[in-house]
Amino acid sequence: METNQYMDMFLDESHEHLQSLNDGLLGLEDNAEDLSILNEIFRNAHTLKGMSATMGYNKIAELTHEMEDVLDMLRKEQLAVTGDIIDTLFKCIDSLEQMINNVANGDPEDLIDVSDLVAKLSAILRGEGASGAPAATSTATAAPAEQTAAPVETSGAVSSDAPVDLSETEKKLISEAEKTGMHGVYLKVTLAESCLLKSARSYMVMNALEEIGEVIRTIPPAEDLEQEAFERSFEVILVTASEEEVVRDAVMGISEIENAETQIIKFGAAAPAPAPAPAPAVEQKSTSSSAATTPAPAPAPITQKSSSSSATNTQQKSSGGGGSSQNAAAQKKSHAGQSVRVDIDKLDTLMNLMGELVINKVRLEQIGQVHRLSELTETLEQMDRVTTDLQNIVMKVRMVPVSQVFNRFPRMVRDVTKELNKEINLTIEGEDTELDRTVIDEIGDPIMHLLRNSLDHGIEMPDEREAKGKPRVGEVGLIARHEGNNVVIMVTDDGKGIDADIIRRKAVEKGLFSQEEVDQMDDADAVRIVFLPGFSTAEKISDISGRGVGMDVVKSKIESLSGQVDVETHVNEGSIFKIKLPLTLAIIQAMLVQVQNEMYAIPLASIDSTLSVQPTDIRTVQNNEVIVLRGEIIPIIRIEETLMVPHVRDAHDLFVVVVHAGDSKAGIVVDKLIGQQEIVIKTLGNLFMGLKMFSGATVLGDGRVALILDVATMLN
């Protein structure tokens, strides 16, 4: 079988399933009784196993198969969810990620030895803990042998003429649903004899049902439906607020469905009766049950979505199981089957073509103005609207939610929290905020540095927090939101903050500043010293942070993306690190200026104002040229001197473009202001990597090339 054409799809989908497994385990750790989370984790592991086996990666398939067996016992309540099992499953995910990365790099999958993990999973299956010791006895494992042999279908669930038996968990789910005005529905779906793709039809049925409720069980199980291990019919237990007719119509609307039989399942949810629990009734008929099982803990209400307090609300893919609410299921379904996976190189090519179109449009506008061609001008007005719309669509196609970066951090915070023996809760907001793909690919490491800094240096130990009158659990926030044409990402914590006096002392000790210089700094400026290369306040070096190579890396990386980073802090109250990034780096608004015969572009987002000054308005302070603008002293930068452009000064009026980067300002002296224009940023390539003053170049409408000034570099 030729697998090369499927490799990219396998790698992409594998990473998606691994992320879903991570999110699911984080949710399970906080809510061990939520059966829907376990079902979702099981489905992801099962799908990953099938994909790996199909591609011939047997080691990956073997490990996921062992995970699947453990997860199956957990969801059937034959095992209790313990910290050891969660930790072992997390280690399995880490190993799977390494194996898949090896495959992506062209290395063998078995470079990672997973024999110990397989042995641990086997021990768990035998009823031993992850360390090989017997596991704590759970309700399920303490059950009689006959119940263990058939954990899902317990006796006494419904009357003798009921279609299927229900487990205690399923009965509780339906009973909880009835309290919210919903009810259980039994559904038998029969496919047409001519149906060839039975698994595809069953998948479509599940998706249709998830629009109107929650699937809590299929007969046969979902994995058998996926592998077409059934005849023409299968059965579904569903919780919904819809009537039988609505359920039938939803299924019969799918092609190649021959019949759909439904039956309402009701418990008559009144006040809970003393043990033994009442048996459910099917269409108002009920008979008492003679068998009683040990009651399981009540699950969360069916209409609520449980999520880890430290996990993002990431989208989860479903392949036959239930969503957590009707609304969530409907939203998930509304996007299903309406997206396409596109290689990023194709999007880059599309963006380049879009750029060429913008350049030619500007050229045509210039021709129309020079030759006064009214017909061309009218056509160009229409063309301008079309190209603007097209450009917006191309930009939106390249935009991806920051959740692609954020979703890796809940797991990291969990692991670091355990390593530091701290208690920390991560809250994520605005993960749907979108950024250009090129920016998304670059911001992961800076945010990782800031988060680790907050976890290690910011949040205090629980006892220390308690002594200060704070809650033992520290709060760390990761927030994204739009601000104009920028996206702001903030990392917040309620820890000890940054003491400006300590920063001043450290800066003097390291020889970065003199005592006189730091004494003249206000607290805000003193705290910003943390962004200087080689600066660290860590008393001891740890694996988490404190090697003095964190904050300066963050600053340089963000500035290379035309962004800014700043910090606001209060001692014993916490800190806020704020990253400000442009929405896109491909097409921007810029001011074109001329110095002698050279054209330059200055990004409009960096410009405060433009003004005309007399040569006599420029003063010299400590051998530096400055101007005074509204009482503020602003240093002057002469491009011809900075860039060594041959130039003769004259006595005519000068044009000054006042620019900013962070809190720094400067006035750039130019000969002529050409005007505002939309420009397409082109990279300079490896040959000009050393030119720090420029962030790229653009091709103008007349074919000339204008260099784009990197304002942040010029001001530093």
Q: Are 238 and 302 in contact (CB under 8 A)?
A: no
Pair 448, 426: CB distance under 8 Å: no
Given the residues 29, 40, 66, 68, the one annotated as active site: 68
Q: Are 602 and 518 contacting, i.e. CB atoms less than 8 angstroms apart?
A: no
Catalytic residue among 46, 65, 183, 449: 46
Taking the C-alpha atoms of residue 3 and residue 563, their distance in angstroms, rounded to an integer, is 41
68 catalytic? Reply is yes
How far is 305 from 299, CA to CA, in rounded Å?
12
Alpha-helix runs per DSSP H in 300-398? 326-335, 344-371, 374-398
Q: Which residues pair with 58 in a beta bridge?
A: none
Does the annotation count 46 as an active-site position?
yes
Q: Which of 387, 190, 162 is nearest to 263 (CA)?
A: 162
Inter-axis angle of helices 244-252 and 198-212, to 10 degrees?
Answer: 140
Q: Name the burial class of residue 102, with classes exposed (0-12), middle (13-18) and buried (19+) by CB atoms within 10 angstroms of its CB.
A: middle
CA angle in degrees (0–180, nearest 5) for 563-566-569: 160
Residue whose structure tokens are 């898949």: 100
Query: Both tokens of residue 119?
Result: 């042995």
Rounded Cα gap, residues 121 and 130, in angstroms: 7
Out of 39, 44, 207, 453, the active site residue is 453
Choose among 88, 93, 64, 69: nearest CA to 79.
Answer: 69
Cβ atoms of 333 and 339 closer than 8 Å = no
Tell me the C-alpha to C-alpha distance, in Å, between residue 403 and each of 20, 28, 312, 318, 431. Answer: 12, 20, 8, 19, 5
Of 279, 305, 254, 319, nearest to 39 by C-alpha is 319
Q: Which residue numbers are catalytic?
A: 46, 68, 453
